[in-house]
Each structure stands twice: as structure tokens, then as C-alpha cells.
Structure 1
Amino acid sequence: MEKIAVMVTGVGGGGHGEQILKALRLASAPYYVIGGDMNPYSMGLAEVDVPYLLPPATDPRYIDEVLKICAKHDVKALFHGSEPELKAMSAQRDRIVAQGIFLPINPANVIDLCMDKAATSTWLLDNGFDVPRTIAIEQLSDLDRVDFFPAVLKPSVGGGGSNNIFLAQDRAELQFLGTCLFQTIGAYIVQEYVGDTNSEYTVGVLCDMDGKLLNSIAVRRMILSGLSNRIRVKNRTGNPAFGDILAISSGVSQGEVGPFPEVTAACERLATTLGCRGAVNIQCRYANGKVYVFEINPRFSGTTSLRAMVGYNEPDVLIRKHVLGEAVSPRFPYRSGRVVRGLAEVLMPENLFERSQGADQ
């Protein structure tokens, strides 16, 4: 079977671009993967068929360079590997699609909404979904409105990988951490900490590009592992419902992978109500019989390869349906299992970019 040329940007270690690359390598279809990254030392560049060094997504030349590479290799599908690249591709989606390239991204209004956590929280409440109590901090006096603890402080926009996130267990901590965060990034949100360390899920909902629901999957996170927690502290609130330890995920997810209908049902309803296309990733905790959504990522997940390992291969499914024209049955079967993570190393070739000089399939 002839190899299908696919480009994945942002293939550096730790991001969802690397995850998409891994998922494509797990697929039965033979993919010829062109990879791009702005860092010449990104691990993923050593693992693609042809590597390219790209300008940052904020550079005016970015889309031009991506399209030039796509034309050279007759790329059939283009996947972004970082949120800045998602924004850049979304802004010029018409130009990309006009070149005959399949671009599996959500509508612009979905992307814009989900990248603002304060706006997302309001939308969830307005549409009948459960969400932790959330207060936007636009000036330090807004901290006086916080009447719940523990409280999670985090950026409303950005903050990937749990950057600039803090946990306050009492008023004094809130005031100190809240002041420091405001001085560092400006406005942010404070969100109620719900559930315990065994109740957190990252949920993937997959729709086709016409908005038809295809399937869903969840990972019940093991967030007490060293790789998987950003914050881990003793519970000092006196409330045993939170467990002995309070923890915030690092974004490096691992754990039990499966359908988990108690959480995926609500997330499926959310994705269809929102009007998602392609992949969407929903972060939530399941507590008191309710699914509390605290973040929606309108893109592929940092657990894309974990899902592909059990037969739920999102990028492959979308290519097969929309590029190859194959019939994809909704609720396609996949396995359940526990997937854990560690560290991996690669020796970067000295002639890494020679493959992209005149590379030809």
C-alpha cells in the first residue's frame, strides 16, 4: 500500500504533536510522516521520516513555510502539535484547505471559547453542565469573593502543562499566592478544588468533521505519580472528603484507560452541544455522582498515544474517514487497560536535517 504523507508540527517531546506522531506509528495504515518543530533538538525530529525546522507559530512566515513543505511532499493531512500552532492554522484554515490538505481542527468559535477558561466556565453553567465554582480575578480585591477552599489558582488563558498553577488551602495562602500570581501574569481565575486524587479523568470525544459523534474514551488519572503531579500537599482543610493528599496534575497523564460511561456520557453531550469537529479533550473530576468539568482543550490530547495503544486511534480514524473515504462505524471497539509512562532518550543524529534537503518519496 502506498504510504500516505502526513505532516505533524510541534513534534518536540511532551506536547500533543509528539502524541499524534506516536499514534500514527501505531496505526495499521502506512504513514509517511513529515515532522516540524522550532527547536532543532526536539526529540520528535529524530523519529519522523523527514524533519524540518520551522519558525515559531507567531512568525508571519510560519504558515508559508508549512504550506511549502506540504506542497513538496504532497501532504494529505496536517496536524498541529501545539496551541500556538492551532491558533495560527485556525486563522488561515481556508488557505490550508484550498491547497487540498485535510485539516482536522475545531471551528474557530469553539477554539476561541475553550482557550479562555473563564469564558468556558460561564458557557458550561449556561448550558446546564456541572463546573467547579469559578471566580475571575481581574483585580486583587476580587480575592475577597472566594469563599471556598481548597482553591486552585490558574491562568484563564494559556497555562499549558499546568504552568502558573497554585493551590491555596486557607485565606492566608490565597492572599499570598493570589498576589504573587497577579503580579506575574495579571488576571487569572480561582476555581474550587473538587473530588479526590482518584476522581480525575481526561476524556476524549471524537466527532467527524460534520459534527457526528464517533466515540469517546477516558483515562482515570494516576496523579500521585512523580511524573503526573504538579502539586502534591497534605490536606490541611479538615475535610476528609478530599482525601489525605491534595494534588494537581502536571498534564503528563497515565492511568486506567477505558469507556468509563459515568463520565464520558456527560462529555459526549458537552462536545455535541458545543459543536465540536474532530477531537476535543475534556478535563474533569467525578464527585458526588456528578462530572465537574474544569477545562476543555479543543484539540488532540496529551494522551493520544495512550488511547491509540488500546485501539482508539483518533488521527488515524479521521484520516481513514475523511482522506481515504473509508466507512468508520460509530462506537468502534477498543480495549481497556492500564497505561503507565516513564522517560525515554534518543541520540540526535548529527546529519538530522539532511533528510529534508531534496527529500523525495
Structure 2
Amino acid sequence: MDKLVIGICSIGSGVGQSVIDSCKLFKPGAVQTVGLGNTPSAFGATECDRSRLIPGYHDGGYIERLIEVATEENITLLIPGHDDEAYILAKNREKLGAHGIGVLAAPEALIAMCRDKYSYTETFQEAAPFFVKSYTHQELLDADEDIFPLIKKPRSGYASKSISVIANRQGLNAVDDGESHIYQEIAMPASGDDLSVEYRSSLSRGENRQVSEISLQLIFDQGSKLRACCATTNRLVNGVPIEIVPIDLAPLNHFIEAFCRSMLRWSAFGPINVQGRMTDEGFKVFEINPRFTGITGLRAKLGFNEVEYVVIGLLMKQPCLQPRLSSRHAGVRQVASKKIDLPPSRWPASDSGHRAEVSGVRRVLLSGSTGLLGGLLLDRLLSDTDFEVYTVDRHRNGRQGIRQAYCFEELRSGVADIRGIDVVLHGAFARPHHGPEDHFAAIQTSMEFLRACMCMAPAKIIFLSSQSVYGNSKDVLSEASLLRPESSYAQAKVLVEDHLKSLSQMTRETRFTILRLSSVMGPLDALVEQEAYSSMMSTLAGGGEVSARHLSRRISKIDYRDAVDALLHFTKRESQHGFFDIINIGPGSTPSLGEVLDAAVERLGASYRVMASYAEGVPDDLIISSHKAHQEYTWYPRHDMQSTIDSFRK
């Protein structure tokens, strides 16, 4: 089955963010998320695999544009993040469905009824005794009895907004808002509640402390059968829960049974949230919201991942854990913070003279700039006005044009100032011919380097890995192929890759790209000394003769110029696969050793002789496919093997 692509709407809202937080806890690889909203810098925009701007849900053309974006992103399921949006999406369910776009929301009629708090007892008559009484303004003016204090709230409001206390008839007479509000009987905390006295005292001062509130979350399947539920007592500040504590469902069972009969009649599906309080008369309800809530993500961390259960279990009908709230933990919330990228148009003017602060220039931190590929890439970066270059190496790079050069020791000690780095390209590593001790040291240095970089939350980290992680194989190897690292060098690369993957699961501020590079070939001193093909070509170009065996064996070899082009290309390109991606970088074709030598003889006027092969036969090939780099990132090598051979002659 193809991976489900979910569109999470209103990603700047508390509910939208809560759904995103829940999706992060899905079993790995279950879904892809696309954040949808009308604010470019919304907090949740960087939490999804991708994000797109759409109009506000009350704007003209909202549904039409939503369909366009959903089709472009292959979204097949929308999850609303706002009450009004849930109603609009449910109302347009058939129109969206005609384009293969589902809506995770209750039926339109049920949403409309839940929005009208005044009609709860009539709409959900099976559970009528459990609802607080509601009055209109006129009903209170006509009433003879003194039923104050009351809670005044919008008849179709949400999220505890625009709520106030009407302490007496004098306060009621001062209100002039027609029928836009309702007046609810107050569900007084039970007399045994520790906060009962404090709550009654706050009411006398005209304050609604919102204490001891119970949030009951019910999950219904496509047949409107209750499949999961949990309840917490919430502590709120300005209507926002900052602490949730799981409670036993037993005192709520009578309400749940009665309410489920109403939900069956109204064809409920998905999440239904009920808010109330335990009083001396039992459980009393004052609000119903047919959606996920702002604490959905917090409940997921406590074991009740309702989003995963509905999406994976009920809609996709795949194995999924039954949501179960841990009774051993409480949930707490506080304001979170993160760094996001601003478009240059929103950058403040500066007279500091630092071009990266007043233009679209990106700051790149390059490790390994004194190495073979790192040095060549440094040349390209310094000649490109799109970049401002910082380096970190074993020893400081003295090259002119580098904005700031550091050594690894300065990074470890905290002396190196890498604040504001946009792209980190980690190329520093021990060479393949080095020993296990050097490769182990490279792992340690890499982890220290990456840890220091993560503190600055760069937008992107690129790690230069190797095709050697695959080991030899008879098959052409893609990014999904099984890893079989046979050398200490390959094993070291795999360990750093795994470390990066772990980091990617802990943050949504940085995107990680691993480039698995073919063996590099070219007429450069370091390659001629250490790489077999380069050594042979150099000898042949100089009029010498080489000996070779296993002429039928194929090993992917990439021209050094293409390797540098690829590094620059991916430094500029954004990831197409969320926050962690692996990409093979190899040649356009992989000729056998015999074919390479034959071409060298023809183009260089040289000769070679064939050595006898050992009895064990020809080793397996090592051929990697760069199809993903071609098709998804539009990177292609420009040099074939003949071009590389010619470079030795020149």
C-alpha cells in the first residue's frame, strides 16, 4: 500500500499543532504530513514533512484552492484544526471526495448541532439529564426565580473564548447582545473537591477559574460504535489546558452509555470531545466539540494516540495499538519555541555590512575543507555569490575569502561562533585506506561536530557518506538496499548515518541529507596515490603498462568534477522527502574494468596485461543507482568514463 499523505489544516492553531505532535508518534514511515495554513511562519509549518500556503477557510475560493493543493501534494485525507474549518470541510465532503480527498470529521449535521450549545438537551436527548441548563437572554429577563450566577458564552463559540460570569440580575441587565450568547447554569465542583471553596470564591468576584474541568475524549468508528475513550482532569490558564491528569472512567459510565445512543442516531465518526465537571449531582456537561483537541498530542504521549488509531486503525484498517491512557503519568504544557527561516523580504534593514544579514546569501559551514573534495567544493562555494563560507578542520584553513575558519578544538571548547549557519556540509572523515583507529576517531569527531551544530539549529545538514556502506553485491543498489559494510571505514560511515537519523527524529527545525557517493576517480595526486583506477590511468597516460585481473568486475566510479557538482547541487537544493533523506550519487553508467582499460588503450595509446585470477573467482560488483538523484532532484553527471580518461591525458 502506498504511504498515506495527510493534510493537516490550520497548522498555526493549537489543535493543528496537537495533531502534528501525534503524527510524530506514529509507527515509522506510516504517513507523510503536509501542513496547510495561511501563515508562512506558522509554528507547525516546520513540523510537517512539507507545508503549503492556502487561503483562510472563510476566504473566497478556499475549497477550490484546497483541492488544487491537495491534488498537487497527493493528499488523500484532510484533518481540520479549527471548529469552523471542520464544519466547512464536512459541508464540502462530497466535493472533496470527488477528487479522492477524504475528510476526518463528523457529519455536517452533527457538527452544526454541537456548535449550538443552547440545544444540547434537545439534540442529545438520551443524555439530557447530564447537561447544564442553558438560557437565552430573553428567557432570563422573563424568569421570576433567581438562578444566578451564570456563565455567559457565545452560543456557537469555541475554546473557552469570550466567556464571563453574570453574578446577578443587575449584571444581566447591563448586557445588550440579543441572542448571540447563551447563559449556562454553572457546574459547581463537588463539595469534596479541594478546589470547590476557591472556585465559589472566584465566582463571587466575577471570575471563572476553570478548575477541575473534565475532558472526555470519545472515538467512534464508521458504524458510530464507541471504540476508545479516556478522561482527564484539566487545569487551565486563559482557557488553555496546562496540566492534564488521567481519571477513572467509572463515574462517567452512565453518561457515556446514554451519550453513545445519541451519537449512533447522529452517525458520529472519529473524535468527539466532551467537557464537563463532576458536581454533587454527578457529571455535568457544558460543551461538546466533534474534533481533536489542543491536548490530543499530550494524550498521545500518555499512550492515547487517537489520531494514529483513527487514521491507521479505522481508516487504513492496519494493525494499530488500542489507545490507552497511562494512569502513571500526567501531562503538562508550556509555551514552546523554535527557530524558523524568514523570507528575505521580512529581514530587517542592517548597516552592519554583513551581506548575509541583508540579502539572500546563505551561510555554509564546511568541514573537511582542506581535504580533496572539500577543497574543490570550497573553490566553488567561494566563487558563488550565493554563499558565505565558514570552515572547520583539524587545523584552521588559511584560504582567502573564507568568512571565518575554525579548528575542531575551537568547536569543542565553544569558542567557534557558528550562530546563524544555514547549511552544514560535513565532509571531514578519515580516508578508506586509514586504519580502524582513525575511523573510530572520525566517528567521535563527527558526533561532537554534529552536536555543536545542532545547538544552532541550522536549516540543513548534509553528510558525505560512501557507496561502501552497501558492500559488494550482484544487484544494482538503490537507497533502499540492505547495508553490508565490510570495512571499518564503511562501518564508521554507517554509524554516523544512524546518528543523523536519530537526530532527525528529535527535531523539526533541521533537515538532514545523506549523500552516498561513488568511489571518486580523477587525475589528482591524492587519487592517483590511493585509488586504483586513477593510479592505472595515470600510469597509462605516462606511457607505462599496468596489470589487472577480474576484468569483468564492475565498480561505480564517479568523475571528481561530477562529485563536486553534486555537493554544490545539494547544498542549494531543498529536500523532497521531509526531514531525513538518503541519495546515491554515482556515474551515468558503470563499465567493467576491462571496458575501462580498453577505452584507456584506445584514447591514451597505452597497453595493459591480464593477470591470472585466483581460484575463488571474480568478486561481486559494486554498482549504485542514481535514479533518485536524477528523477527527484534533477542532478545528472556530466562526465562519462571516456571524458574522465581524457582528463588524464590533458
TM-score (norm 1): 0.81
Q: In the superposition, relative to structure 1, how do residues 62 and 343 fare at CA in structure 2: closer, same or farther (>3 Å)? A: same
Q: Identify which of 294, 298, 313 aligns with 2:286.
A: 294
| Structure 2 residue identity aligned to 1:6 | I
**CA shift digits 1:2-57 (9 cap, x unpaired):** 753211010114x2111111111122243321001122232111222211121111
| Structure 1 residue identity aligned to 2:24 | R
Q: In the superposition, relative to structure 1, how do residues 42 and 137 fare at CA in structure 2: closer, same or farther (>3 Å)? A: same
| Structure 2 residue identity aligned to 1:18 | Q
Aligned to 2:8: 8
Q: Identify which of 143, 165, 170 aligns with 2:163.
A: 165
SS at 2:78 equivalent:
strand
Counterpart mapping for 1:230-245 below 5 A:
230=238
Aligned to 1:233: none
Aligned to 1:96: 96
The 8 Å contact of residues 124 and 262 in structure 2, kept in 1 or not, is answered as no
The 8 Å contact of residues 121 and 128 in structure 2, kept in 1 or not, is answered as no
Aligned to 1:273: 262
Taking the aligned partners of 1:153 and 1:262, their CA distance within structure 2 comes to: 28
- Per chain length, whose mean CA-contact separation is higher, i.e. which structure has more relative contact order (CA < 8 Å, sep 6+)? 1
Q: In the superposition, relative to structure 1, how do residues 124 and 87 fare at CA in structure 2: closer, same or farther (>3 Å)? A: closer
The 8 Å contact of residues 126 and 258 in structure 2, kept in 1 or not, is answered as no
Aligned to 1:195: 188
Q: In the superposition, relative to structure 1, how do residues 207 and 253 fare at CA in structure 2: closer, same or farther (>3 Å)? A: farther
Counterpart mapping for 1:97-112 below 5 A:
97-112=97-112
The 8 Å contact of residues 10 and 81 in structure 2, kept in 1 or not, is answered as yes
Aligned to 1:156: 155
Q: Identify which of 235, 250, 254 aligns with 1:261.
A: 250
Identity of aligned residues (%): 23
Aligned to 1:310: 302
The 8 Å contact of residues 137 and 182 in structure 2, kept in 1 or not, is answered as yes
Count how many residue pairs are aligned between Structure 1 and Structure 2: 326
Aligned to 1:57: 57
Taking the aligned partners of 1:252 and 1:291, their CA distance within structure 2 comes to: 19
Taking the aligned partners of 1:97 and 1:129, their CA distance within structure 2 comes to: 38
SS at 1:346 equivalent:
coil
Counterpart mapping for 1:314-329 below 5 A:
314-327=306-319
Q: Identify which of 310, 318, 338 aligns with 2:330.
A: 338
Taking the aligned partners of 2:162 and 2:44, their CA distance within structure 1 comes to: 26
| Structure 2 residue identity aligned to 1:174 | L
From the CA coordinates, give the structure whose radius of gyration is larger: 2
SS at 1:5 equivalent:
strand
| Structure 2 residue identity aligned to 1:333 | R
SS at 1:58 equivalent:
coil
SS at 2:90 equivalent:
helix
| Structure 1 residue identity aligned to 2:337 | E
Taking the aligned partners of 1:86 and 1:106, their CA distance within structure 2 comes to: 8
1:116 maps onto 2:116 in alignment: yes
The two structures, once aligned, show a CA RMSD in angstroms of: 2.9
Aligned to 1:240: none
| Structure 1 residue identity aligned to 2:237 | N
Taking the aligned partners of 1:189 and 1:121, their CA distance within structure 2 comes to: 14
Taking the aligned partners of 1:145 and 1:359, their CA distance within structure 2 comes to: 68
* Structure 2 residue runs without a partner (length 5+): 190-194, 196-210, 345-458, 460-510, 512-572, 578-650
Q: In the superposition, relative to structure 1, how do residues 292 and 139 fare at CA in structure 2: closer, same or farther (>3 Å)? A: closer
SS at 1:161 equivalent:
coil
Q: In the superposition, relative to structure 1, how do residues 23 and 303 fare at CA in structure 2: closer, same or farther (>3 Å)? A: same
SS at 1:295 equivalent:
strand
1:283 maps onto 2:275 in alignment: yes
Taking the aligned partners of 1:23 and 1:165, their CA distance within structure 2 comes to: 29
The 8 Å contact of residues 216 and 264 in structure 1, kept in 2 or not, is answered as no
Aligned to 1:83: 83
The 8 Å contact of residues 127 and 255 in structure 2, kept in 1 or not, is answered as no
Aligned to 2:506: none
**CA shift digits 1:140-172 (9 cap, x unpaired):** 835x567322210111112x2322211122332
Aligned to 1:174: 172
Q: In the superposition, relative to structure 1, how do residues 25 and 146 fare at CA in structure 2: closer, same or farther (>3 Å)? A: farther
Taking the aligned partners of 2:106 and 2:27, their CA distance within structure 1 comes to: 25
| TM-superposed deviation, 1:135 | 0.6
Taking the aligned partners of 2:151 and 2:137, their CA distance within structure 1 comes to: 12
SS at 1:129 equivalent:
helix
The 8 Å contact of residues 201 and 218 in structure 1, kept in 2 or not, is answered as yes
| TM-superposed deviation, 1:322 | 3.8
**CA shift digits 1:77-97 (9 cap, x unpaired):** 210111221121111101222
The 8 Å contact of residues 125 and 262 in structure 2, kept in 1 or not, is answered as no
Taking the aligned partners of 1:251 and 1:125, their CA distance within structure 2 comes to: 29
Q: In the superposition, relative to structure 1, how do residues 146 and 319 fare at CA in structure 2: closer, same or farther (>3 Å)? A: farther
Aligned to 1:252: 241
Taking the aligned partners of 2:126 and 2:286, their CA distance within structure 1 comes to: 14
Aligned to 2:451: none
1:213 maps onto 2:202 in alignment: no
Taking the aligned partners of 2:70 and 2:291, their CA distance within structure 1 comes to: 21
Taking the aligned partners of 2:43 and 2:253, their CA distance within structure 1 comes to: 33
Taking the aligned partners of 1:36 and 1:264, their CA distance within structure 2 comes to: 37
The 8 Å contact of residues 302 and 331 in structure 2, kept in 1 or not, is answered as no
Q: In the superposition, relative to structure 1, how do residues 126 and 262 fare at CA in structure 2: closer, same or farther (>3 Å)? A: closer
Taking the aligned partners of 1:210 and 1:175, their CA distance within structure 2 comes to: 47
